Amino acid sequence: MYTTALTNSSNKQNSQQQKNVSEDGGKNGGGNSSTKSLGEQKKDDYIRTAIVTSVGDKFMIEYPNLCLICGSIGKGLEGTMISCMACAQSFHTYCVSIHEKLSMTIIKRGWRCLGCTVCEGCGSGDDESNLLLCDECDISYHTYCLDPPLDCIPLGSWRCKWCSACIKCNNQIKTSKGKLPTTEYLQRCEGYCEICYSMKKCPKCLCFYEIGDLMIKCQRCL
């Protein structure tokens, strides 16, 4: 079995071609065509490895799922594989930088590789400037496809409603009715669950607690 991967020279050649396209577009006024060409070249962000083997290779028959990036299987933790739910290609979790954030959300809802990433709301992969990527499970949504929609990309990290956890107790955030929270709900509670948020602010006037304030605690909540 032989493996071939993209080399540094080919990467440099691609970079030089992108540079030439950009320069030509600037001189000839063809800004749209150059932008489109660069966008098409950036779609394949993974360095994929081509596998050349015999049809009767017993090894390939016994281990058909090879990592699309490194072309190997691996052992132990390094051999942990994940498959894209769209194209069914297999990847090492280390090769796609997702090993440290494997969660029940990814296991239950599935995972998409970069080439298959689309908005889970409308199913389109266009308008990447408004496409949000969850920091925990890599699920994507357009800002205007959320419920309710966002006006712009939020600063800092962003988590989807399935990965939202209280920043104090680390429990999954749910509404009082046990449902998953909306984006508006998460913003209103500032990353806290209802119980932890109630211990931060008065739920009636929404003012911060001050040391020495006369407060009463609900026997059911606390």
Q: Are residues 212 and 185 in the same domain?
A: yes
Per-residue pLDDT tens over the stretch 180-211: 666 666 666 666 777 777 676 666 666 666 55
Of the three residues 158, 188, 209, the one that is the final residue of a domain is: 158
The CATH number covering residue 140 comes to: 3.30.40.10
Q: What is the pLDDT of residue 196?
A: 74
Rounded to 5 degrees, what angle do the CA atoms 165, 167, 173 make? 30
Q: Are residues 173 and 220 in the same domain?
A: yes
Question: Does residue 178 lie within any of the structural domains?
Answer: yes
Q: Are residues 183 and 220 in the same domain?
A: yes
Question: Does residue 2 lie within any of the structural domains?
Answer: no
pLDDT band at residue 72 under the 50/70/90 scheme: confident
Question: Does residue 107 lie within any of the structural domains?
Answer: no
Sign of CA dihedral 117, 21, 19, 28: negative
Question: Does residue 207 lie within any of the structural domains?
Answer: yes
Question: Does residue 103 lie within any of the structural domains?
Answer: no
C-alpha pair distances (Å), 17 with each of 9, 25, 27, 41, 176: 12, 12, 15, 10, 56
pLDDT > 50? residue 18: no
Question: Does residue 129 lie within any of the structural domains?
Answer: yes
Q: Are residues 140 and 177 in the same domain?
A: no
221: containing domain: 164-222
HSE-CB of 66 using CA atoms within 13 angstroms: 19
Number of domains in the chain: 2
Whether the full predicted model's pTM is greater than 0.75, yes or no, is no
